[in-house]
C-alpha cells in the first residue's frame, strides 16, 4: 500500500472553519504552555535564580502569545464587517510582532493606506508562506504591485538555502487537487483569499531568493 495520501475534495465551510481553528491553536499552544510552566515553577517556592528565570519566561511567552494572537486575529479572523478596510500600518506592526524573531527581519516597502480587508489578510498569509521558504532565517522584503485598492504584492525571501516547498506551491495553485488538512489549510486559505481579490499567488525561485507574488 502506498504511503501517500490521495487527492481529496475541498473542505466544506464547517471543515474549513475547524481546520483554521486548529491552525490558530497550533500557533498559540507553545507560548501559552510556556507561561503555564513558568507559573508552576513559581508555585514550587523556587530559589531566587529559578524565580527570575520563571518570570523572564512568563514575560517573553506572554509577549509572544499576544503578538501571535493579534496577527492571527487579522490574518484569519473576521477583522471587521463585510467591506471593511484595514490600515497597512497596523498590518505592518502585527507582521513585525509575529514574524521578526531574531532569525527573520522584514523590509516593508508599502505605503501607509487603507486597503480592503481581504487584500490585507492575503498579504499577511503570503508572509506566513514566505517565512517557510527560508527555514534558516533571513529577510522578507514586501513591495507593492500597482497602487490603490487594486494593489498586489510581492514578498521576496532572502536567506541561506532559500527554497520553494513544493507542497505549498501546489496548494496555492488554483488547479490543485491536493488534500487539505490542518497542515495544509493555511496555503489553501491563502488561495481562497487571492481568488476573492481577483488575484492568484505564485512561488518562484529566483537565484538565491524566493518570490511570493499575488497579481
Specify the pLDDT at position 82.
60
Cα-trace Rg, the chain: 19
Confidence (pLDDT) at 3:
43
Residues of the chain with pLDDT under 50: 1-7
Q: What pLDDT is recorded for position 212?
A: 95
CB atoms within 10 A of CB 152: 21
Q: Would you list the DSSP string of 26-55?
A: HHHHHHHHHHHHHHHHHHT---HHHHHHHH
- State residue 6's pLDDT score: 39
- Structure-derived torsion over alpha carbons of residues 102, 75, 126, 175, reported in degrees to the nearest 10: 150
Domain segments of the chain as ranges: 12-77, 82-214
Q: Which CATH class is domain 12-77?
A: mainly alpha
Whole-structure pTM value: 0.87
Q: Report the sign of the C-alpha dihedral through residues 129, 134, 136, 142, in that order.
A: negative
27 near 75, Cβ under 8 Å? no
CATH of the domain spanning 82-214, picked from 3.30.565.10, 3.40.50.2000, 2.60.40.10, 3.40.50.10260: 3.30.565.10
Amino acid at each position: 500500500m502506498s504511503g501517500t495520501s490521495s487527492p481529496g475534495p475541498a473542505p466544506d465551510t464547517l471543515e474549513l472553519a475547524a481546520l483554521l481553528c486548529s491552525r490558530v491553536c497550533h500557533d498559540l499552544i507553545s507560548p501559552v504552555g510556556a507561561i503555564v510552566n513558568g507559573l508552576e515553577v513559581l508555585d514550587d517556592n523556587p530559589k531566587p535564580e529559578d524565580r527570575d528565570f520563571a518570570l523572564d519566561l512568563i514575560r517573553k511567552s506572554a509577549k509572544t502569545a499576544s503578538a501571535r494572537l493579534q496577527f492571527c486575529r487579522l490574518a484569519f479572523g473576521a477583522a471587521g464587517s463585510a467591506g471593511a478596510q484595514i490600515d497597512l500600518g497596523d498590518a505592518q506592526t502585527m507582521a513585525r510582532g509575529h514574524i521578526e524573531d531574531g532569525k527573520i527581519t522584514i523590509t516593508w516597502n508599502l505605503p501607509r493606506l487603507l486597503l480592503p480587508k481581504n487584500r490585507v489578510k492575503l498579504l499577511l498569509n503570503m508572509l506566513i508562506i514566505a517565512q517557510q521558504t527560508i527555514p534558516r532565517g533571513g529577510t522578507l522584503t514586501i513591495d507593492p504591485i500597482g497602487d490603490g485598492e487594486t494593489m498586489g504584492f510581492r514578498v521576496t525571501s532572502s536567506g541561506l538555502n532559500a527554497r520553494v516547498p513544493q507542497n505549498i506551491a501546489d496548494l496555492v495553485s488554483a488547479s490543485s487537487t491536493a488534500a487539505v488538512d490542518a497542515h495544509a489549510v493555511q496555503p489553501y486559505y491563502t488561495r481562497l483569499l487571492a481568488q476573492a481579490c481577483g488575484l492568484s499567488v505564485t512561488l518562484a525561485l529566483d537565484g538565491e531568493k524566493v518570490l511570493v507574488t499575488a497579481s
